[in-house]
Structure 1
Amino acid sequence: MGTKWFTKNEKLNILKYYKENGWAKTIKKFEISTPTLSRWKKAVKISGEKALEPGNGLQSKGIRRPGRPKNLNFELMTKKELIEYIEMIQDVKKSLPKSKKKKFQTIWSLKKKYKIKYLCKILNVSRAGYYKWFNAGMKLFNKWNNTIAKIVKTLFLTFKKIYGYNMLTLIINKLYNWNLKPHIVYRYMKNMNLKSIIRIKKFNYKLSSGNKRHENIMNQDFSTTDINQKIGTDITYLLTSDKTYFLSIVKDFHTNEILDYQISNNLEKEFVFKNIINSWVKAGKPSTWVLQSDQGFHYTNSDYEKLCNYLGITISMSRCGNSYDNAHTESWFGTMKTEFLYHIKRKKRTAKWIIENLPKYIYFYNNFRPQAKLKGMSPVQYRKSSLQVTF
């Protein structure tokens, strides 16, 4: 198909139509390219309507725009431009991108600080290629999906940056009934520079111990086949702006469900005993419990021994100084504090805030928070599904 020629009057009519209707409609109606229309518009602005006559255009006269230099001419650069160029090289070296899309991403992240033409030259990519990537939606890898990227970022920020790619994968699969793999979510998080909060190191503290010690029956074997088999209990501290409070929990190792919890402003034995009794009643008063605890004074006294004997609970006690023996229960405290407590600075934490919001978190943990060990289900969902299989 040959080149289409236009007379001077036709070009003027096209330009008039363009002023009234814009680029898109003009290009579509007259089947001309954007550069051609732009060239006519520029020619009229510089030389008047005479420039639209055949033979008067720059292309007809053989005048071409000079090509871009293959190398930067440092001799023509000012001192300021040279300093900027050196700083730019240092910034680019920090990331050392390997793939072309990574290079485009580096250019995009530095474009407000440096000129794009210099960045493209350093990274050995064309400006046309960069703008093509930019206009196509800035895809960071071939199978980039903007919907998945948006969901990953939204959930990451919704949960206040506490979850890494493993937990976000479970939540996404649960909410959207997908089957994403963790490495896919990791890839999106890495490319969007989403980093979860690092868990704060545990504070070491020691409590006194009584003289009623028992055998470590579990011996770090926390495996179960059903609910109400192996149970754990422990106490942790809750620091507030004016005082330290204490939290006691009872946890079923089969479902990871928190059966009951109690908060106290002192370390008297009563709130621990109440925690155990409430949990035992909620579980249906079973006679199959093996209750694991540490050697704190709440569990090494005659009252605790009498209570467990009365309820038909077998006592299992971790060895002195061996936190791994009670790790199944203690690990929940780390999860709770990272996902809930540490989001509020200690100066702003009050007893009222803890009493109002801790039940909400435990409800969220029991009823919604998915776990890989539980096949992506929450503790309550897993317990209910186990009961359905049993019956």
Structure 2
Amino acid sequence: MKLTYEDKVEMYRLWKEDHYSSIRLATLFKCDRTSVTYIVKLIDIHGISVVQKKKNREYSAEFKEEAIRRVLIQHESIKQVSLSLAIPSKGTLSLWIKSYIENGYNVIEKKRGRYGQKESAEDRIRSRITEADTGASEAEYETFDRERILKKIRRLNFGKGKARAEEVAQAITELRQELKCSLRFILATINGIPDIPHMTRSDYYYTINKIDKDEKNQELIEKIKSIYAEHKKRYGYRRISLELVRRGYNVNHKKVQRLMQKYELRGITPRAKYKSYKGDFNGTVKNLLLNKVIDTEKHKTYYTRNFATTDVNQKWTTDVSEFHIAAGKLYLSPILDMHNAEIVSFNISKSPNFIQTTDMLKKAFQKHQKLEGLIFHSDQGWQYQMFEYHSMLRERGIIQSMSRKGNCYDNSIMENFFGKMKNEMFYGHEYEFNTLDELKDAMEKYIHYYNNDRIQKKLKGRTPCEVRNSALE
């Protein structure tokens, strides 16, 4: 498919701004991958004007000869020379070299006008016949073609395992277009070397004519892309599989994973944390989420963490995390219910002070009145060692629990939430927030989305609020 100027501009925009891969762009614009990489690199080096179609674009004999000499004598790659000289098409220099060898290592300038073109074509045919009689130029010409074929096919195995049949067939098709060689010549060249991928004529035609097995999955692919975009790249294949089930699609998660890999749809993944530990200055309490295990066979005693619950409002956890942008810092202090991973209440402040902690508690106590026997877990941060904090929990009949010193895994459920939140709405977007108010608004919207819209695998494809509602019913 011949690309227009508009196609090339759009291709470069998708590569530069939306980070589309060359494989994805090749599929989108129905061209080979090497053409995509050449076009985007050419525009990146010389600007968008380099791909504008110019009427009667001509190159002097000196220009062509210099380019050819750089390839044949200085052993630079054709692609490297073409890019440095701003040649719009990746195959142009290959044709110059081919013509140069065919014409006895002479650059033939194309004559202008209809009669000039006809005469030039006849001259080329005559010179080709003359060289065929001598045999020398033809042999050198075939040697050049063989080297180019072997170089391209060998590259398929570079840095990975055995090349797939589709990759070999695509490379052969590109070589046929680039070198104007017969299929028989290319197959004879590659099948004569033992350490490179081989292919028979029938396998080649079978592979290039094979129907894409995902053509029947177009509706599913579009639905996956829609869910992926709707949740702002926050869902991996597991949650997208669950969301598809919710929407009435009976599909295996492995199929979803394969399709997402094919179209390079990846969920955002885990980074640094604010630490509030300042030493033991007002007494700590026991970690109530540990189970003591005595191994009589190995004569060892160790502890396992117990985050299990049977209902809401049995175990809560809290912590403080920092969000840092150019305009300043914000601190988030939430309470999370371990049963359904719901954010019960939260406070966002410019300073991690004790007022933030008490405000968070008051909001939670207003929503839930009966909390006797609730285990409220935290790390050993200074806020949770305050006498007033102990008193507020005792008044409600809440039992306080703390992680062991220097053991972040004891509060891993809270750390896990912070990791999800930052990966899905903060990391990579820090410079999109010009003010702290914009950041605060985005944080509040995310927590609402997390509680009400974001399904979780461990909740069997439900949201935290759906689990709470079903538990209360």
Scaled by the length of structure 2, the TM-score of the pair is 0.58
Establish whether residue 278 from structure 1 lines up as the match of residue 358 from structure 2.
no
Q: Report the equivalent of 1:316.
A: 401
Q: Report the equivalent of 2:330.
A: 245
CA contact (8 A) 1:371 1:377 kept: yes
Amino acid at match of 1:139: K
Q: Report the equivalent of 2:165.
A: 103
Amino acid at match of 1:148: L
Once residues 94 and 124 of structure 1 are traced to their aligned partners in structure 2, the CA distance between those partners, rounded to angstroms, is 21
Change (3 A) 1:115 1:354: farther
Structure 1 residue matching 2:388: 3-state secondary structure: helix
* Structure 2 counterparts to residues 321-360 of structure 1, below 5 A: 321-346=406-431, 348=433, 350-360=435-445
Q: Report the equivalent of 1:124.
A: 199
Q: Report the equivalent of 1:227.
A: 312
Change (3 A) 1:284 1:349: farther
| Structure 1 residue 360 displacement after superposition | 1.4
| Structure 1 residue 232 displacement after superposition | 0.6
CA contact (8 A) 1:318 1:325 kept: yes
Q: Report the equivalent of 2:156.
A: 91
Establish whether residue 139 from structure 1 lines up as the match of residue 213 from structure 2.
yes
Q: Which whole-Å deviations, capped at 9, do the CAs of 1:323-366 have from their partners, x for residues lacking one?
A: 11111112100010011111413474531222221121111111
Change (3 A) 1:129 1:342: same
| Structure 1 residue 213 displacement after superposition | 0.9
Q: Report the equivalent of 1:218.
A: 289
Greater displacement, 361-370 / 280-289:
280-289
Structure 1 residue matching 2:361: 3-state secondary structure: helix
Structure 2 residue matching 1:226: 3-state secondary structure: coil
CA contact (8 A) 1:156 1:168 kept: yes
Establish whether residue 165 from structure 1 lines up as the match of residue 237 from structure 2.
yes
Amino acid at match of 1:211: N
Q: Identity of aligned pairs, percent? A: 26
| Structure 1 residue 78 displacement after superposition | 5.3
Once residues 275 and 292 of structure 1 are traced to their aligned partners in structure 2, the CA distance between those partners, rounded to angstroms, is 14
| Structure 1 residue 150 displacement after superposition | 2.8
Structure 2 residue matching 1:86: 3-state secondary structure: helix
CA contact (8 A) 1:366 1:378 kept: yes
Q: Which runs of 5+ in 1 are unaligned?
A: 1-72
Q: 2:278 aligns with which of 196, 208, 217?
A: 208
| Structure 1 residue 107 displacement after superposition | 4.5
Q: Report the equivalent of 1:30.
A: none
Q: 2:386 aligns with which of 301, 310, 316?
A: 301
Once residues 187 and 172 of structure 1 are traced to their aligned partners in structure 2, the CA distance between those partners, rounded to angstroms, is 15
CA contact (8 A) 1:92 1:106 kept: no
Structure 2 residue matching 1:245: 3-state secondary structure: strand
Q: Report the equivalent of 1:261.
A: 346
Q: 2:251 aligns with which of 173, 180, 195?
A: 180
Amino acid at match of 1:103: A
Structure 2 residue matching 1:145: 3-state secondary structure: helix
Change (3 A) 1:85 1:367: same
Change (3 A) 1:368 1:261: same
Greater displacement, 353-362 / 232-241:
353-362
Q: Report the equivalent of 2:10.
A: none
Once residues 347 and 279 of structure 1 are traced to their aligned partners in structure 2, the CA distance between those partners, rounded to angstroms, is 31
Change (3 A) 1:206 1:233: closer
Q: Report the equivalent of 2:449.
A: 364
Structure 2 residue matching 1:373: 3-state secondary structure: coil
Structure 1 residue matching 2:382: 3-state secondary structure: coil
Number of matched pairs:
305
Q: Which whole-Å deviations, capped at 9, do the CAs of 1:284-315 have from their partners, x for residues lacking one?
A: 34223210011000001111111111222111
Amino acid at match of 1:215: K
Between the two structures, name the one with larger relative contact order (CA 8 Å, sep ≥ 6). 1
Once residues 456 and 346 of structure 2 are traced to their aligned partners in structure 1, the CA distance between those partners, rounded to angstroms, is 20
Q: Which whole-Å deviations, capped at 9, do the CAs of 1:258-286 have from their partners, x for residues lacking one?
A: 01111111121011111012112212342
Once residues 106 and 314 of structure 1 are traced to their aligned partners in structure 2, the CA distance between those partners, rounded to angstroms, is 66
Amino acid at match of 1:89: R
**RMSD across aligned positions (CA):** 3.0
Q: 1:77 aligns with which of 127, 138, 142?
A: 142
CA contact (8 A) 1:223 1:254 kept: yes
CA contact (8 A) 2:276 2:382 kept: no
Once residues 249 and 301 of structure 1 are traced to their aligned partners in structure 2, the CA distance between those partners, rounded to angstroms, is 18
Q: Which runs of 5+ in 2 are unaligned?
A: 1-137, 178-182, 192-196, 291-304
Structure 1 residue matching 2:156: 3-state secondary structure: helix
Once residues 203 and 301 of structure 1 are traced to their aligned partners in structure 2, the CA distance between those partners, rounded to angstroms, is 22
Change (3 A) 1:346 1:369: same
Structure 2 residue matching 1:298: 3-state secondary structure: helix
Change (3 A) 1:171 1:111: farther
CA contact (8 A) 1:88 1:114 kept: no
Greater displacement, 298-307 / 189-198:
189-198
Greater displacement, 242-251 / 348-357:
348-357
